[in-house]
Amino acid sequence: MGAGNPGETMTTATMLTVLGDRLEDSSGDLYSDTLKLRYLNIAQDKLIQLLNPHLLSDLQTLKVNISLSTDSEVDSHFKSYFIPNSSTLDSSPFGGALGVIGIRVSNDMFIRKISFDMAKDFSTGYVGFSATEPVYFVFKNRIYIYNTTANVDCYFIKEPTALTNASPAVPCDLNAIFHDALVELAEAELWRLSNNQARKQDAEQRAYGIIGKYNQNPATQVVGEGLPFDYSSSNSLVDPIYPNTSI
Strongest mean pLDDT among 26-40, 106-120, 204-218, 223-237: 26-40
Confidence label for 230 from pLDDT (cuts 50, 70 and 90): low
Contact 91, 59 (CB under 8 A): no
Output the pLDDT for position 245: 47
* Same domain, yes or no: 183 and 123: no
Output the pLDDT for position 123: 72
* Same domain, yes or no: 50 and 67: no
In a domain, 3, yes or no: no
pLDDT in tens, 104-154: 999 888 998 988 888 878 777 777 777 677 889 999 999 999 878 899 999
In a domain, 50, yes or no: yes
DSSP string for 207-238:
HHHHHHHHHTS-TT--TTTTPPPEE-TTSSEE
Half-sphere exposure of 30 toward its Cβ, with a 13 Å CA cutoff? 12
In a domain, 122, yes or no: yes
Q: Which domain holds residue 125?
A: 59-158
**Number of separate domains in the chain:** 2
Give the residue-averaged pLDDT of 30-43: 96
Output the pLDDT for position 129: 72
In a domain, 222, yes or no: no
* Same domain, yes or no: 151 and 181: no
* Same domain, yes or no: 145 and 187: no
| 60-66 sheet: strands from edge to edge | 60-66, 152-157, 100-105, 110-113, 135-139, 142-146, 80-82, 69-70
* Same domain, yes or no: 19 and 64: no
* Same domain, yes or no: 154 and 63: yes
Give the residue-averaged pLDDT of 185-203: 96
* Same domain, yes or no: 187 and 152: no
Residue type, 157: I
In a domain, 245, yes or no: no
In a domain, 244, yes or no: no
In a domain, 225, yes or no: no
The pTM (predicted TM-score) of the whole model is 0.80
Share the mean pLDDT of the chain: 85
* Same domain, yes or no: 144 and 63: yes
Residues 6+ apart with CB under 8 A from 68: 80, 81, 82, 145, 149, 150, 151, 152
* Same domain, yes or no: 95 and 116: yes
pLDDT in tens, 70-106: 988 877 778 899 999 999 999 999 999 999 999 999 9
Give the residue-averaged pLDDT of 4-19: 81
Is residue 238 over pLDDT 90?
A: no
In a domain, 191, yes or no: yes
Last residue of a domain, one of 158, 184, 202: 158
* Same domain, yes or no: 131 and 70: yes
For residue 128, with 0-12 CB atoms within 10 Å meaning exposed, 13-18 middle and 19 or more buried, which class applies?
exposed
